[in-house]
Chains A and B, each alone.
Chain A
Amino acid sequence: MRDESTPRVKTGLAEMLRGGVIMDVIDAEQAKIAEAAGATAVMALERVPSDIRRDGGVARMSDPQMIREIQAAVTIPVMAKARIGHFAEAQILEALEVDYIDESEVLTPADEANHIDKWEFEVPFVCGATNLGEALRRIAEGACMIRSKGEAGTGDVVEAVRHIRSIRGDIKRLAGMDGGELATAAKNHQAPLELVRWVAANGKLPVPLFSAGGIATPADAALMMQLGAESVFVGSGIFKSEDPQTRAERVVMATTHFNDPAKVLEASTGLGRAMDSLEARKLPEDQLLAGRGW
């Protein structure tokens, strides 16, 4: 008797990706470099966030042919992005048997009112969040992994820090509340009371909490891990740097040894230039990706 695609096995894959680095790749060659550097998974997409920013226009799900080539090139899990609310893109990604679907603010949202009903799918979903309420709304919709959004494609870690601190801080605050206060907190967070109660009792989200958006260096990865992220996503930070292979290896090393400054020092030395960066605070409002989704 086998039960496939249960919440246990969907969340279980996220749990097995802990302490690792998920890297954005745009073709099979980059995917192989990421795998050889120690990535736990790759995120297949046509353009990394910094290029999406530069090019403008509507950013959509990637060409399935490109995703297939990446699936054929590596044995680690392959994830791919669908637009917020675009369940037809998600259906295509499920038919491709990608290992995780990222309903992502990095792509242009397809629905301004509704996210995808993720319970309808056999393939698990990861979603971004900037705060606890947003994280719990995504979990209520069926997300099995949450990543702090950060501000993708900038190489500026400040928003990722803001979001993980916000989520972790609000989790800690829930722990000190009584039943009546939790009901009010659920209302204020616009999140289901049942999930708010679970988080208060357990001191964590019911699914793994990873971090994304602006991580560009081994030190950035170590910072996010020390702040409570369980893994990191690195988008433009690897393949927009001077020496992607070395940087990829070193971000992996720093993520493993995030609590060992001597190891993070070693990982940070002799890396070559980081990606060209943008200061997130100086971006005009209409270019911020983290505000997409709610």
Chain B
Amino acid sequence: MVAPLVGILALQGGVLEHAAHLRAQGAEVREVRTPAGLEGLDALVLPGGESTTMTLGIAREGLADPLRAFAASGRPLMATCAGLILLDRTHLDVLPIDCERNAFGRQIRSFEGDVAVAGIDGPPHHGVFIRAPKVVAHDDDVEVLATVDDAVVGVRRGSVEGYAFHPELTDDGRIHAAFVARVRA
């Protein structure tokens, strides 16, 4: 069986950790910095980092339309933290959601804690939230995958999923495993 080829947007941010998880699930990984880098991918990850920096990089490289086209193609797309912000209505407008940045406060309020994720069996995922955003509004066709207190921190619509936390910073490979399984399906 041919290994699926998964791209990671690598303008800046936590690329290495996603790459390690994806490889552990048998995927091949390509770092994406230009529109040409999106060609031939089976799936894409938008990693954590600084959403302002990534947004400027997307504009500089002419990546906004190619990224929207990728999302619309139905190929799986996973976003974490800053990547989730990029999906919202005021950024790439890939999902009908609104995000609040740094919704839990500055770095001193960054935290880790258990979070149940829909579709992930077994014990709760141990979420790592770093200057994390939350989803403050979403259309009805967006499925909520995870919440912390009352805050929406995981969403999916069709082939696109986003998390406010960082599964890539944990040893829990279940979220990446499920993602790669969808790529193979």
Contacts and interface: CB of A to CB of B under 8 A. Distances in A.
A233 interface: no
A97 B112 CA distance: 18
Given A1-B114, A16-B82, A20-B12, A97 B108 contact: yes
B106 A253 contact: no
A40 interface: yes
Most buried by A among B17, B81, B106: B106
Interface size class of B (residues with CB under 8 A): 35 or more
Counting chain B CB atoms within 10 Å of each CB, the highest count among A6, A38, A253, A255 belongs to A38
B111 A16 contact: no
A210 interface: no
B52 A3 contact: no
A18 B112 contact: no
Residue of A8, A9, A122 ringed by the most chain B CB atoms within 10 A: A9
Interface string B33-70: 10000000000000011101100110010000000000
A256 B12 contact: yes
Given A15-B169, A16-B82, A9 B130 contact: yes
Nearest to A253: B60
A77 B105 CA distance: 11
A122 B108 contact: yes
Contacts of A252: 53, 56-57
Given A16-B48, A256-B12, A9 B111 contact: yes
A290 interface: no
Interface string A52-65: 00000000000000
Nearest to A121: B108
A225 to B, nearest CB: 12
B131 interface: yes
A13 B131 contact: yes
Give the interface size class of chain A: 35 or more
B11 interface: yes
Interface in A229-273: 249, 252-253, 255-257, 260
Contacts of B111: 2-6, 9
B107 interface: yes
A41 interface: yes
B34 to A, nearest CB: 8
Contact of B13 (A2, A8, A16, A75): A16
A75 B52 contact: yes
Interface of A: 1-6, 8-10, 12-13, 15-20, 35-41, 75-77, 94, 97-100, 122-124, 249, 252-253, 255-257, 260
Interface of B: 10-17, 33, 48-50, 52-53, 56-57, 60, 81-82, 101-102, 105-114, 128-131, 166, 169
